[in-house]
Structure 1
Amino acid sequence: MPRIGVEQSLTDVQQELQQRGYDVIQLKQEQDAQGCDCCVITGQDQNVMGIQNTVTAGSVITAHGKTAEEICQSVEEKINAGQ
């Protein structure tokens, strides 16, 4: 079962992914992304200071401007491409 990390404010995305059978955890801190196959972030505070640390080997999807359905489709594409 793929593990998906989702930022706290994206509750609609969390619910949609859970309905599709994914193991979803809330990303409260950077360390929460460890062990996730894919992470969904809002994109609002993405790389603010020009520093980028690799916390997860999984894909990162930015939710900005996308519906929950579009985000879930992106997650499924990333998960399926990695298998």
Structure 2
Amino acid sequence: MAKIGVEQSLTDVQQELQSRGYEVIQLKQENDAQGCDCCVITGQDQNVMGIQNTVTQGSVISANGMNAQEVCDMVQEKIGR
């Protein structure tokens, strides 16, 4: 089962992913993304300070401007399920 990290404020995305059978982890701290196959972020605070630390080898999807179904479709495309 794929493990997907999702920012706390994206509850609609969390619910949609869970309904599709994914294991969803809330991203509360930077280290929460470790071991995730894919992460979904709001994109609002993306790279604010110009610092990029790689925490996960999985894809990172910005949900900015997309609805929950579009985000979940993109997750499926990225992880090949």
Q: Same fold (TM over 0.5)?
A: yes
| Alignment root-mean-square deviation, CA | 0.9
Aligned equivalent of 1:11: 11
Aligned equivalent of 1:36: 36
Task: Flag as ranges the 4+ runs of structure 1 deviating above 4 A.
Answer: none
Inter-partner Cα distance in structure 2 for 1:6 and 1:51: 20
Q: How does 1:1-83 map to 2 (within 5 A)?
A: 1-80=1-80
TM-score between both structures, scaled by the size of structure 1: 0.96
Question: How many equivalent pairs are there?
Answer: 81
List runs of 5+ in structure 2 lacking aligned partners: none
Inter-partner Cα distance in structure 2 for 1:80 and 1:25: 19
- In structure 1, give the amino acid aligned to 2:60: V
TM-score between both structures, scaled by the size of structure 2: 0.98
List runs of 5+ in structure 1 lacking aligned partners: none
3-state SS of 1:31 partner: helix
Inter-partner Cα distance in structure 2 for 1:51 and 1:25: 24
3-state SS of 2:72 partner: helix
| CA displacement 1:25-76 (0-9 Å, x = unmatched) | 1000000000000000000000000010000000000000000000000000
